[in-house]
């Protein structure tokens, strides 16, 4: 793994500022609750699992910053900080999952703990969240690599590598693992408008790993499929509904439609904490809308007429009918998805059909 997106060392939280890549690899320290909120909202840290890991550690930063005098004040600070951080971005389920887990950790602490011991438990919980994510990345990579054959052309969208997670990656983890196994294949990375995560981040990660990658404009996807250069599509996910409808970076839905039209398998690689049992289908997944300047400006340079109307959703929803399989740390899920997803969320309550 060439880069670690989130670090905690000597009580300090630092992240790779992904807005500076690929020109500069720079870690920045997040000293306050507001620093953490801004880093998430401004996409200095991005990718659902990485957002969750950052928020878990960021909650520690925020509680500490409030200097609680006693345990009750510390527990109240946990609620306040988590509510604030949860407002940074609405779609990525890992953000809410991680903050819920941190709140549960705080709530379960006995009332006779000192504030220092309480904070130590929060730090450990945040570390556990990130370590578990790294382990899930490895497992998803192992499962996903089984689908990749020598000579394959693989299309991917946005960034799903180490920069987007607490470990090896989600969709890119399958490619990293397959490459480690000696397989040789060609990855086509869509640029991913408007912020070019595919161009700036995915191409950078794959090149650094020695994987053959070709960058394409987003609107070239149909053509490379028509030319027979794509044998499968691998993408990540930010939130998956109980029926398998999947929210991911805007443009994913179009790729799924194109893949079906060209009879190409379409795989979603995501950890189990991306599945949201509280959302029955994709129609009710909250979709974040981003600032219009992300479309009208390219890195500060105006590229559209001043005052033009802009619609800039950060995500779209791919219907479950277009998804060939989900690749998770617990195995491969195939249609019909509702029962399989129930199992992935709680394998003790439901046996796989």
Encoded tokens for 82: 């988590």
For residues 191-201, one letter each, b for 16 or more C-beta atoms within 10 angstroms of the residue's C-beta and e for the rest, the string is bbbbbbbbbbb
- Per-position DSSP letters for 4-29, written without gaps between them: -SEEEETTEEEEE-TTSTTT---EEE
- Per-position DSSP letters for 203-241, written without gaps between them: HHHHHHTT--EEEE-GGGHHHHHHTT--SEEEE--SEEE
Residue 180 known to be catalytic: no
Question: Which single residue is written with the structure tokens 């779609």?
Answer: 91
- The backbone region for 166, taken as left when phi is positive above 0, alpha when psi lies in -120 to 50, beta otherwise, is alpha
The length of the chain is 353
Between the alpha carbon of residue 242 and those of residues 247, 249, 273, 319, the distances in Å are 12, 19, 12, 12
End-to-end Cα, the chain, rounded Å: 37
Which of 133, 152, 218, 238 is an active site residue? 238
What's the maximum distance between 2 C-alpha atoms anywhere in the chain? 67
Which residues are catalytically annotated?
Answer: 238
């Amino acid at each position: 793994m060439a880069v670690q997106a989130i670090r905690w060392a000597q009580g300090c939280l630092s992240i790779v500022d992904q807005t500076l890549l690929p020109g500069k690899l720079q870690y920045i320290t997040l000293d306050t609750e507001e620093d953490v909120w801004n880093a998430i909202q401004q996409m200095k840290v991005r990718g659902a699992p990485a957002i969750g890991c950052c928020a878990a550690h960021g909650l520690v930063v925020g509680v500490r910053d409030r200097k609680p005098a006693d345990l009750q004040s510390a527990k109240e600070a946990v609620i306040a900080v988590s509510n604030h951080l949860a407002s940074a971005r609405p779609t990525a389920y890992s953000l809410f999952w991680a903050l819920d887990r941190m709140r549960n950790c705080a709530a379960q602490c006995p009332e006779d703990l000192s504030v220092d011991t309480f904070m130590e438990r929060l730090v450990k919980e945040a570390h556990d969240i990130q370590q578990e994510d790294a382990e899930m990345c490895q497992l998803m990579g192992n499962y996903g690599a089984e689908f990749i054959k020598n000579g394959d052309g693989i299309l991917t969208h946005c960034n799903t590598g180490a920069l987007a997670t607490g470990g090896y990656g989600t969709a890119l983890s399958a490619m990293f693992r397959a490459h480690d196994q000696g397989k040789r294949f060609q990855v086509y990375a869509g640029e991913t408008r408007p912020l070019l995560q595919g161009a700036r981040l995915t191409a950078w990660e794959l090149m650094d790993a020695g994987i053959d990658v070709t960058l394409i404009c987003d609107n070239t996807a149909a053509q490379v499929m028509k030319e027979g250069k794509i044998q499968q599509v691998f993408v990540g996910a930010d939130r998956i509904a109980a029926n398998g409808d999947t929210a991911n970076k805007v443009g994913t839905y179009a790729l799924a439609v194109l893949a079906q039209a060209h009879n190409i398998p379409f795989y979603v690689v995501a950890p189990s904490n991306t599945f949201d049992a509280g959302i029955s289908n994709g129609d009710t997944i909250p979709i974040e809308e981003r600032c219009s300047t992300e479309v009208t400006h390219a890195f500060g340079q105006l590229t559209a007429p001043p005052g033009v109307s802009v619609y800039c959703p950060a995500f779209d929803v791919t219907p479950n009918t277009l998804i060939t399989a989900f690749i998770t740390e617990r195995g491969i899920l195939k249609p019909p998805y509702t029962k399989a997803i129930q199992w992935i969320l709680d394998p003790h309550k439901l046996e796989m059909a």
